[in-house]
Structure 1
Amino acid sequence: MARPGRIVIIGAGLAGASAAGSLRDNGFTGEIRLIGQEAHPPYELPPLSKGLLLGQVDEPDWVHEPDYYAAHEIEHRRGVTAVRLRPADRVVDTDDGEEIRYDLLLLATGSRPRTLDVPGAHLAGIRTLRTLDDSLALREDLRRRPRVVVVGAGWIGCEVAAAARAHGAEVTVVAPEPLPLVRVLGERMGEVFRDLHAEQGVTWRLGTGVTGFDGDERVRAVRLSDGASLPADLVVLGVGAAPRLTLAAEAGLAVTDEVPGGGVAVDERLRTSAPEIYAAGDVAAHHHPRYGRRVRVEHWANAKEQGRHVGETLLGSPTPYQATPYFFTDQYDLGMEFRGLARPEDEVVVRGDLRAREFVAFWLREGHVHAAMNVNTWDDGDALQALVDNQAPVVVEDLQEADLPSLIP
């Protein structure tokens, strides 16, 4: 294929900025326009709920050094929003009135935090965590050691709870599920995280929802579905994120509900239903060759790796994207890495000491490894990656006792 003259990237987060860098790394000499809503240079999200929120660092991890874009002739448009996409004309309309033409386009619009549609949701003191500014503002709140109610027991909810306790805040976590992270990790691992937080002084209100917030101008209490009311100086909503699909949907691109939350339908090479438009990161519902179905992953590694990969694809690489999903967390003294995709019906096998929280957990389906999680143990990362990548056939006793590299097919 002929190389394009101008590539436009909508979304200056991790996926978009990684794609811009990948294009230059792979020899693209044409125009690159990177359009982003935020005033900051592109940054990575994990520190926002970890080191930055804890006060261990004062800046996020920048995707590239701030002077990288000018040095590599990447036009980074900050504080600009794409408001309309016209595929037939190959034009992007922006909120400042510009019409930007493209030869190829990448949608990397990311996700927005979900909120609750309940009485009192407008009150001050109810926060979400998605951006650098969100994290810095929340950190200042936590330093005042408020009474914090975290709504949601997923990754963001658990990490915010850990950071709040580190700042000395009183913390209660409310969630409708019976255990934290149960939808991702299942009951046995959910118990590990429940007990970890309880030991650190977090109060759990599981199996209950939020029906409203009370206060005058600022939140003072959280009303629960079981009739209780929790006093609160600060509420943090960690109830998930929704992919930003409006731009794609209004332009007539195929979107799908085959994945939770929906997504822009892309093929194995991350191409949308319009041949000149690709999508990467949180918005991309990607047909994954290894799993034989669509997958949409909201974690850091997926945005980074899809961004790098699509940079090559935009220049004609035929290689499909088939990386294994990966994510990590740090909460108190627990560090964890997770590889693969688990299902609730999978058999969970534990190697190591669950009580001491130094173990590896495997998720097996029909005798094959589909996911693995190492907790406070770091020696076997390469072996775990290979076992999951190959969906290795295993014997349970071998997983628990044998040298893991010896089990790689």
Structure 2
Amino acid sequence: MINTLGSFALSLGIMFAQIPIPNSSLPLQPITEPQEQQLGLDDRLWGSPGQRGDKQALLESIANSLRYLRSSKAAAAYAKYPVTGITLARVRRSLVRFRQLVINSDSPAQLRAAVRREFVFYQSVGHDRRGTVTFTGYYEPIYQASLTPDENYRYPIYRLPPDFASWQRPHPTRLELEGKDGLQGEKGRLRGLELAWLRDRLEAFLIHIQGSARLQLPDGRIMSVGYAGKTDHPYISVGRELAKDGKLPLSGLSMPVMIDFFRHYPQELSVYLPRYHPFIFFRDSGGAPATGYTNVPVTPERSIATDKDLMPPGALALINTSLPFPKRRGEMEFRQVSRFVLDQDAGSAIKGAGRVDVFMGTGQLAGDRAGVMKSSGQLYYLLLKE
């Protein structure tokens, strides 16, 4: 879905012991003898007593990556990938073999032993070159919308302009395209490109942040919209802009806190949304599931977004971090997890070797979890031994 913003967070997760990484300009370094915590148990794969595991979801996510790895886009990406030894053919072979191991393994211990025997780990050097990675979450929201404007549905999202490739750079800013109040798009070059209208300006903006959404229309139909393109302006954190102006404290800043602020002070939307210069365009995805950078569906808690200038797209990875889980009365608790994932997405705010965004799913609960997520941990890629 090419999420455009890694979510803020309320708390930090527990860190695994840092592992020395040789000083190098490369984003990944091979680890030939992984420690036990690097292999992990993947608590979700087989499930806990009385709960069903999600082995099938992992297998489907692997199939999605394999489909991408057969594409010309994958061939072009790996032709210029900078880490020696990580090739398209090796990534593909690794996924095929790992899929066989998942199908044939009856327990976490059996899978872990096979992985230790057959695979080598490449660890991300992180943002500190000691392997520390910051994990955030993103999701696919569900909002009420209409295909025609009226007094209730006023705030549009737009299709990609047919002449967008020829737009002069730098591209117009958000303020120049839709105006300070978000309602002036019909007076400029976006006129006639409206895809749908929303009730709430903040919700329309949040679709820009997440990169896709499901829209519930007045007749009960559900429309899915996905990323189609964006202007060339760099990412700006609206939350940090609020903190810089003293409107919110930087400590404890999260997506829910920011949303709550704008709910109480809607007039501030006209001050702060124009500061987010990038503008996202959308397409009707025909009911298809949320799709990532690799043009395949993303899977809740099995798909991650990374910097695709540094990390191998479509590849098998393992994350060690903590994720938020719902408790009673709407509270969240963070639990340490070690989970196999597929690198299938990218994001404007996901830059450098020390950033990962985890796709949390669709709807309100997924949004609540993504909104509070910010955890430290480690990221590894699994490749068959040569």
More strand by share: 1
Q: Could you state the TM-score of these two structures normalised by the residue count of structure 1?
A: 0.24
Please tell me whether Structure 1 or Structure 2 has the larger radius of gyration of its CA atoms.
1
Higher relative contact order (CA 8 A, sep 6+): 2
Q: Could you state the TM-score of these two structures normalised by the residue count of structure 2?
A: 0.25
